[in-house]
Amino acid sequence: MEKHSEHAQYVMGFILALLLTAIPFWVVWTEALAGMRAAAVIGVCAFVQVVVHAHFFLHISTSKQKREDLELILFATLIMVILIGGTIWILSNLHHRMH
């Protein structure tokens, strides 16, 4: 019975991941939203998809046993945000100085 439950979890995660991928493609392809609204929908779908992948495929939760895994992923995410944000900041600053 546990195998069936685990399989159902993977199928549910896969369906949610497909849906969260299809929504941004649909928004851009049909031009249903424009500008910041489209970017907001894409950003929200991306964030929710990260949560779906972490929960359904990486089996990361807030339980005590998985706490160290969650802390490791959050720290890695912080480092990536600092690196990406710093790169964008520096390149933007250089772009403004060149014009």
Say yes or no: 53 and 89 in one domain: no
- pLDDT (average), residues 73-84: 91
Q: What is the DSSP letter of 61?
A: -
Q: pTM for the full model? A: 0.68
Say yes or no: 76 and 30 in one domain: no
Domain containing 77 equals 63-99
Residues with Cβ within 8 Å of 58's Cβ and at least 6 positions away in sequence, in order, are 69, 73
- pLDDT digits over 31-72, tens only? 888 889 999 999 999 999 998 998 898 887 777 766 777 788
Say yes or no: 49 and 11 in one domain: yes
- pLDDT digits over 9-27, tens only? 899 999 999 999 999 999 9
Neighbours of 2 (CB within 10 A): 6
Query: Coil, helix or strand for 70?
Result: helix
Say yes or no: 54 and 71 in one domain: no
